[in-house]
Structure 1
């Protein structure tokens, strides 16, 4: 991926950290409606749907596909690659080279109409083929891209969780992109990569909702502004203080994805 433009994609399959064999508790009558609805949405066996509901305390709005077979399958990974490359192409065609940071969130209908990395076939067609080959229900739920000016921009990235070997795009349970401005004098590339990755890792771990300013005063554990949060890797500093001390990057914007989360405005 180029430095000045990166994309993130979220699907409906994620990888559980481990597999356990146990006797599943009985499903109460009150849970049957949720079980049937989950079965209808995913097409997965009742036992897997019941286990997914059990892990989520019976709350249907937090449940997504839980099969590692899907996420570890090469066909699924190719679909994710096609979606990521299609999103990148959408980013490049969206407008002239940016003079500031720009961001765009793609809805399901927009994402379905993108062309995949092959430059011809629609993602909706790639999705239909993958569903047919895997025999599992899949949803390309959302995607997003960030752009920054080429001359002073830098996009940091971090993916957390299971990562397939030699994957053409980064995959994981959590991911973050951070759009930054490079400070002068320009630091070495290794410094930019190190500092940027640490900030993106913080975004994954602490889930800020806004950038804020370096002058913001911290508000404790409830702080949601990135630059005022206690830095994940050096708790004695705020993120703003960490960046000020390193003198490499200034944060402009960020994206954070958690596999399976609902897009904004849809609840869950």
Structure 2
């Protein structure tokens, strides 16, 4: 009874503090990636705070991992696409707030508790989820990466990673899954480092300056600049179906649209 009362008090204090701090700039934070052990479901989230000091706080980091785990659970239960071999879902701040946390409350409640503990504004910014169909015979699998990479983690999901940059990639492989997963993680690392804008196709023309190349298959490979990504996909019997890259605090299309709307009004 006493423990329940204390939790209710902390929750109320958290909401009160969250209301007072709402609107304060949140330019720091973390990106988290979570992928299940079978590589069939994955999520990536961005949660912002005010200072880098809080981004290194264990309580804040645990909350961000919880957000990634909640998103992973949500995408696992989401309807599977009937027209595509995989399902992709984007979640904005309002949608994230309503998701149930691993502990049974909402993510909005978890954020309020964290704000009460750390004394800074915290914002659930965005998330993306990817899932394959139930069959494993299709060769599809997910992998993820963050930078800088964590030294260790105790999270229950297969790839609970926290950093300032993250990538989540949907791949299709052949028979050698172990080799393909290693290459997949290297592709994730490349995407974080080289920031491609699209996968590309044979019709795409290379940029005049390789340093300006934004088509993934035409980019010089991060780990071996003597070759490009396209031939490596072929030699590893892997095709990339989709990818998402996050950079903590980066300006998004939604941010630009909001700025334009404010200027008009």
Which TM-score band (shorter chain)?
0.7 to 0.9
| Equivalent in the alignment of 1:224 | 214
List, as ranges, runs of 4+ consecutive aligned residues in structure 1 with deviation greater than 6 Å.
none
Shift of the 187–162 alpha-carbon distance from structure 1 to 2, 3 Å rule, reads closer
Shift of the 214–178 alpha-carbon distance from structure 1 to 2, 3 Å rule, reads farther
| Equivalent in the alignment of 2:24 | none
Alpha-carbon separation, structure 1, partners of 2:151 and 2:99: 25
Q: What are the superposed Cα offsets for residues 157-192 of structure 1, whole Å, 9 maximum, x if unpaired?
A: 111116263242210111111101113xx1141x12
Residue 222 of structure 1 deviates from its aligned partner by: 2.4
Shift of the 142–188 alpha-carbon distance from structure 1 to 2, 3 Å rule, reads closer
Q: Extract unaligned runs of 5+ from structure 1.
A: 14-64
2:172 match: secondary structure:
strand
Residue 101 of structure 1 deviates from its aligned partner by: 2.5
Shift of the 192–255 alpha-carbon distance from structure 1 to 2, 3 Å rule, reads same
The TM-score, its normalising length taken from structure 1, stands at 0.73
Deviates most, 219-228 or 134-143: 219-228
Shift of the 188–91 alpha-carbon distance from structure 1 to 2, 3 Å rule, reads closer
The TM-score, its normalising length taken from structure 2, stands at 0.74
Residue 210 of structure 1 deviates from its aligned partner by: 0.9
Confirm or deny: 8 A CA contact 1:176 1:200 kept in the other structure. Answer: yes
| Equivalent in the alignment of 2:173 | 182
Shift of the 75–164 alpha-carbon distance from structure 1 to 2, 3 Å rule, reads farther
Q: What are the superposed Cα offsets for residues 81-127 of structure 1, whole Å, 9 maximum, x if unpaired?
A: 22111111221122037751221111000000001122x20000000
Choose which of 144, 148, 155 in structure 2 pairs with 1:161. 148
Q: What are the superposed Cα offsets for residues 46-105 of structure 1, whole Å, 9 maximum, x if unpaired?
A: xxxxxxxxxxxxxxxxxxx3322x122221122112211111122112203775122111
Asked whether 1:72 is paired with 2:60, we answer: no
| Equivalent in the alignment of 1:60 | none
Alpha-carbon separation, structure 2, partners of 1:10 and 1:205: 18
Q: How does 1:100-249 map onto structure 2 within 5 Å?
A: 100-118=85-103, 120-149=104-133, 150-151=135-136, 152-161=139-148, 163=150, 165-168=152-155, 169-183=160-174, 186-189=175-178, 191-213=179-201, 216-219=204-207, 220-247=210-237, 249=238
Alpha-carbon separation, structure 2, partners of 1:246 and 1:215: 22
1:257 match: secondary structure:
strand
Confirm or deny: 8 A CA contact 1:108 1:142 kept in the other structure. Answer: yes
Give the alignment's Cα RMSD to 1 decimal. 1.9
Confirm or deny: 8 A CA contact 1:211 1:226 kept in the other structure. Answer: yes
Confirm or deny: 8 A CA contact 1:5 1:147 kept in the other structure. Answer: yes
Q: What are the superposed Cα offsets for residues 208-240 of structure 1, whole Å, 9 maximum, x if unpaired?
A: 111112564422332211112111111121111
Q: Size of the alignment, in residue pairs?
A: 211
